[in-house]
């Protein structure tokens, strides 16, 4: 079981029986100038079929790292978008994330059915950010998001969107630092007796309060 703690497995099973998770919808205007440096880091778009690093990472991963990487690998296998990849000067992989555009909707919906609306022609979905452990804590993931945005702007894109689980404090802070702000919408993913459905609605007070508490540093990140 990839050394996944029993408590994590039990929690995931419970969530699939009866639970509801909220995701705050955040966006960034790509016409805003990037403000985070990417010194010593090279960023480029990579076709999913050419990104051999990801299946290798999944093969080597264990525990929570595996649980996070496996859905990204499913999206890669489905060719559900393009990967924005950051590498150090020596070529070592630093971080990466998916970029989903209008034409990727069918493939994305095949791995995450009903979880995302179709995108406008000038919009992109920027999610599933992963930074290798050795490079964490340096602000490189937010810088990657901004660098990706600058490249997307050159391709005629104007707005980047992400759906962030309100329990993922690290992701909330990461996207906030990269310049993303709530759009006033949220997504609720609900399991009822093993059945899954998704609801899109106006952002509720608890969701916005969790965002504010996370980005202002008044919510603690729970290890594991």
Q: For residue 15, give its domain range.
A: 6-215
Q: Do 63 and 82 contact (CB within 8 A), yes or no?
A: no
Residue 192: its pLDDT value, please? Answer: 73
Give the bridge partners for 188, in sequence order.
Answer: 22, 199
Would the pLDDT of 66 be above 80?
yes
pLDDT digits (tens, 9 = 90+) for 35-52: 998 888 999 999 999 999
Taking residues 110-117, report their average pLDDT. 94
Q: Is residue 222 a part of any domain in this protein?
A: no
Would the pLDDT of 193 be above 80?
no
Residue 223: its pLDDT value, please? Answer: 36
Q: Is residue 220 a part of any domain in this protein?
A: no
Structural domains of the chain, count: 1
Q: Is residue 182 a part of any domain in this protein?
A: yes
Residue 9: its pLDDT value, please? Answer: 43
Task: Identify the CATH number of the domain in which residue 72 sits.
Answer: 3.40.630.30
Residue 153: its pLDDT value, please? Answer: 97
pLDDT digits (tens, 9 = 90+) for 158-190: 999 999 999 999 999 999 999 999 999 999 998
Measure CA 27 to chain center.
12
Q: Return the DSSP state at 160.
A: E
Q: Is residue 183 a part of any domain in this protein?
A: yes
Buried (b) or exposed (e) across 9-18, using 16+ Cβ within 10 A? eeeeeeeeee
Q: Is residue 224 a part of any domain in this protein?
A: no
């Amino acid at each position: 079981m990839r050394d996944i703690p029993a408590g994590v497995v039990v929690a995931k099973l419970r969530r699939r029986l009866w639970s509801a998770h909220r995701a705050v919808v955040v966006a960034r205007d790509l016409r805003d100038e990037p403000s985070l440096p990417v010194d010593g880091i090279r960023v480029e778009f990579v076709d999913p079929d050419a990104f051999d690093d990801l299946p290798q990472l999944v093969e080597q991963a264990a525990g929570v790292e595996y649980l996070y990487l496996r859905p990204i690998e499913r999206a890669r296998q489905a060719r559900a978008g393009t990967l924005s990849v950051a590498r150090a000067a020596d070529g070592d992989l630093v971080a990466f994330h998916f970029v989903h555009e209008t034409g990727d909707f069918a493939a994305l919906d095949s791995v995450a059915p009903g979880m995302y609306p179709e995108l406008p022609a000038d919009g992109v979905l920027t999610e599933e950010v992963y930074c290798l452990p050795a490079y964490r804590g340096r602000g490189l993931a937010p810088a990657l998001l901004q660098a990706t945005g600058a490249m997307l702007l050159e391709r005629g894109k104007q707005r980047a969107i992400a759906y962030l689980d309100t329990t993922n404090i690290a992701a909330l802070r990461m996207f906030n630092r990269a310049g993303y702000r709530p759009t006033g919408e949220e997504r609720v993913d609900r399991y009822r007796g093993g059945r899954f459905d998704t609801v899109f609605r106006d952002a509720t007070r608890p969701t916005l309060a969790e965002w504010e508490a996370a980005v202002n540093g008044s919510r603690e990140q729970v290890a594991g």
